[in-house]
Structure 1
Amino acid sequence: MDELRVIETPAEYDEAVRRLLEGEGPIAVDAERASGFKYSQRAYLIQMYRRGSGTFLFDPPQIPDFSSLQEAIVGAEWVLHAASQDLACLREVGLDPSLIFDTELAARLLGMPRVGLAAVVEELLGVHLAKEHSAADWSTRPLPQSWLTYAALDVELLVDVRDGLVQRLDEAGKTELAAEEFEAVRAREPKPASAEPWRRLSGIHAVRSPRNLAVARELWLARDAFASETDVAPGRLIPDASILAVVKDPPRTRKGLADLRAFNGRASRTELDRWWAAVERGLASDELPATRVPNDAPPPPRAWAMRNPEADARLRLAKAAVTEIAEELTMPVENLLTPDHLRRLAWTPPASNDGEAIAEALTTIGARRWQVAATAQRIALAFVEAAQAVDDAEKPTS
């Protein structure tokens, strides 16, 4: 096999754009980040393949402007595996598709037992695809040939996989619903930034003291700022478990922090002054966080039987109905209808339990057209049954 080269010069880039324009059909696209190593989620390698063109491995840090590539391929269908994972970093460099085919999502909609790229490739093409470099540090330069081979294979087989999935979707009568799902992924708006991102700390839900939460907040903010400054993944500086160890019983002195064995990580001692200053800010802060964050989500379903018996009955019967539909359609329940949508609908149903009202409520929550068509009427029947069951249970026995 010829040695693979990374495209990093203007001349190489222009040649790649020209050749991609000369190809035909869909374009397989993938991106490699350095998650777990770097703070940013930028792409450090972008792979593309098109029939009649070949395979191209772009080095984003060396290419200041992808606009000519975007213009050349924006009208083609882009084939990605788990598109939601790569679209953000592609858009960051100016690459944004107008039409996608998501091979992982297609595999889910077809009810395939395993939907990872290697498993899908093996089932459809009979090719064993090694995934030994999936968690590599792709910011490494130069990139080893074995990594480049791995990266190239991720796209070189993807168009063939797409063709096999297109056929299966057609045979299953799922072509239109798949297209609707692909477009929903492509058009999905990014989640707004959290007002309190430090609450994502693993295990923070168990901390109930506002003062201890203030320490957690300040340590998280200090770690995040340093991680951004050095472009290092926060968990590599000090892991969440180390912050939680400090938060559960905050030390009162710098030495106490230094002596805490559970406080570890590559920067736990080299940046000790930084972390101790954060602990001090937390201990002295007048702005104490709330122990509970208000939100519009329904309470945990385990509490429904006591708090709202009819909502509990609605959820139980509707879940059974949706599960049955998913089995009929041979797809995971969560792809048929987002569990949170069903919980919200069961907790706060429309005034009427008829199918039209349920369909409108599902649409308002965010369910796709095909999901509404597949589930609304059966959910409506489940809600009627739930109301009758609760009414029967409340009638006095003679």
Structure 2
Amino acid sequence: MDELRVIETPADFEDAVRRMADGEGPIAVDAERASGFKYSQRAYLIQMYRRGAGTFLFDPPQIPDFSALEAVISEEEWVLHAASQDLACLREVGLDPARIFDTELAARLLGMPRVGLAAVVEELLGIHLAKEHSAADWSTRPLPQPWLTYAALDVELLVDVRDRLVERLDETGKSALAAEEFDAVLHREPKPVGPEPWRRLSGIHGVRSPRNLAVARELWLARDDLASRTDVAPGRLVPDASLLAVVKALPRTRKGLADLKAFTGRASRTELDRWWVAVERGLSSEDLPATRVPNDAPPPPRAWAMRNPEADARLRLAKAAVTEIAETFEMPVENLLTPDHLRRLAWHPPTELDAGAVGAQLERLGARRWQIDATAQKISLAFVEASQAVLDAEKPVS
């Protein structure tokens, strides 16, 4: 393979746009971030391939305006693998497709046993695709040639993969439902950040004291502020486990914090004053966090049998029914129907346990029409059976 160049000058960008416009068919797109290295989730490399045009490796930090490229390709079909992972960073630079084909999702809907890009390429094209640079720091400059080769291959084979998947979707009668799923991914609203993002700290669920939680909050906020300002991944400054060690130990002095051996990380000592100020804020705060966060989610299913036997029966019977349907569709259960949708439906069923009412509630939860058509009738029958079983169990023995 010839040496690959990253597109970073206006002249090279204009040439790439012209060539992309002259190409034909779908456009393979991928993006590389620096997750685990940088705080931001921005794209540090965007790869594209189109038949008749070739492969292009764009350097987003060096390209201030992607609008000329967007105007040429936005209405064409974009082929991505696990599109939900890349759409946000592509939109951040002004690249937003009108329609997509998600090769990873298509592989799931077809029931393929492995859906990673390398596995799908190998099964469909018989080509071994090495993935040794997937976790690299893509903010590195200049990017090494082996990394660029890896990045180029991620898109150069993607249109061929798409074509094989289209054939299989047609053969199995899944083309229409796949189109619904692709559209749902494209238009899915970003998950909103919770009011207390510090509760994402790993292991925090085991902390029950409000005072300890206050220290956890202040440490997390202090680390997040530093990570944001320096654009360094929070865990690379101080790992979650180190913050949790401080939360559990509750050192009462700066020296006590410095002497805590479990408090490690590249910024654990260089920013010691920052962490100690955060600990002091947590120790003195009158704004103590609640130990339990209210939410509208049902309790864990393991508790249902005691708390709500009828809901437990509904869930058990409906899960069995949905599993059976998934087997006939030859796809994973979670792609046939989101498990959380079924749990919420079983915990708060409609007043009428018929297919129409069940389908309407599934639609409100976010299920697609094909999913509703496939499952609503059997779920409603399972709910009726569960209600009857509970009534029979409550009848006195004569």
Instruction: Give the TM-score category using the shorter length.
Output: over 0.9
- C-alpha separation between the residues in 2 aligned to 1:113 and 1:191? 28
Identity of aligned residues (%): 83
Spell out, residue by residue over 1:144-176, the C-alpha distance to the aligned partner (whole angstroms, 9 max, x if none): 000000000000000000000000000010000
What's 2:248 paired with? 248
Match in the other structure for 2:137: 137
Match of 1:157 in 2: 157
Specify the SS of the correspondent of 2:25: strand
**Does 1:113 pair with 2:105?**
no
Amino acid at match of 2:141: R
After superposition, residues 201-280 of structure 1 pair within 5 angstroms as 201-280=201-280
Q: Distance in 2 between matches of 1:182 and 1:301?
A: 30
Q: Are 1:349 and 2:349 counterparts?
A: yes
Match of 2:70 in 1: 70
Structure 1 match to 2:172: 172
Which letter does structure 1 place at the counterpart of 2:292?
R
**C-alpha separation between the residues in 1 aligned to 2:252 and 2:361?**
53
Give the drift of 1:142.
0.2
The Cα of 1:229 is off from its aligned counterpart by: 0.8
- Matched residue of 2:40: which SS? coil
Runs of 4+ aligned residues of structure 1 deviating over 6 Å after TM superposition are none
Whether 1:321 aligns to 2:321 is yes
Residues 285-330 of structure 1 deviation map (CA, whole Å, 9 limit, x = unaligned): 1110010110001111111111111000000000000000001100
| Per-residue deviation, residues 210-238 of structure 1 (Å, max 9, x unmatched) | 00000000000000000011110000000
Cα deviation code 1:222-279 (max 9, x no counterpart): 0000001111000000000001000012100000000001000010001100000100
- Tell me the distance in 2 between the aligned counterparts of 1:82 and 1:39: 21
Letter in structure 2 aligned against 1:3? E
SS in 2 for 1:270: coil
Alignment-mate amino acid for residue 104 of structure 1: E
Superposed CA RMSD in Å reads 0.4
Task: State the shift of 1:127 in Å.
Answer: 0.1
Partner of residue 54, structure 1:
54
Q: CA deviation at 1:192?
A: 1.4
Q: Which residue of 2 aligns with 1:282?
A: 282
SS of the counterpart of 1:383?
helix
Residue 355 of structure 1: how far off its partner (Å)? 0.7
Deviations 1:5-36 (A, max 9, x none): 00000000000000000000000000000000
* SS of 1:322 mapped into structure 2: helix
**Alpha-carbon shift at residue 194 of structure 1 (Å):** 1.4
TM-score (structure 1 length as normaliser): 1.00
CA distance in 1, matches of 2:89, 2:180: 23
Is structure 2 residue 100 aligned with structure 1 residue 100? yes
**2:186 aligned partner:** 186
Distance 2:152 2:389 in 1: 58
Return the letter of the residue paired with 2:10: P
Please show how residues 37-52 of structure 1 align to structure 2 within 5 Å.
37-52=37-52
Amino acid paired to 1:9: T
Q: Secondary structure at the match of 1:30?
A: strand
Q: What amino acid is the match of 1:355? A: A
Structure-1 separation of matches of 2:226 and 2:355: 53
TM superposition shift of 1:99: 0.3
User: Distance between the aligned counterparts of 2:357 and 2:50, measured in 1?
Assistant: 46
Distance 2:238 2:191 in 1: 26
Question: Could you list the runs of 5+ residues in structure 2 that have no partner in the other structure?
Answer: none
User: What residue number does 1:371 align with?
Assistant: 371
* 3-state DSSP of counterpart to 1:216: helix
Secondary structure of 1:375's match? helix
CA–CA distance in structure 2, aligned partners of residues 231 and 354 of structure 1: 53
Q: What is the CA–CA distance in structure 2 between the aligned matches of 1:339 and 1:133, rounded to whole Å?
A: 33
- Mapped to 2, the partners of 1:191 and 1:118 lie a distance apart of 28
Question: What residue in structure 2 maps to residue 123 of structure 1?
Answer: 123
Q: Which amino acid aligns with 2:125?
A: L
| Separation in 2, partners of 1:152, 1:124 | 19
1:191 Cα deviation (Å)? 1.2
- What secondary structure is seen at the aligned counterpart in 2 of 1:64? coil
Shift of 1:193: 1.9
| Amino acid of the structure 2 residue aligned with 1:110 | L
Shift of 1:137: 0.2
1:239, 1:56 → 2: CA distance? Answer: 36
Note the C-alpha offset of 1:38. 0.3
Letter in 2 for 1:219: L
* 1:395 aligned residue: 395
Deviations 1:347-393 (A, max 9, x none): 00000111111111111111000000000000001001101100110
Partner Cα separation in structure 2 for residue 365 and residue 358 of structure 1: 11
**Aligned residue-pair number:** 398
One-letter identity of the residue aligned with 2:260: L
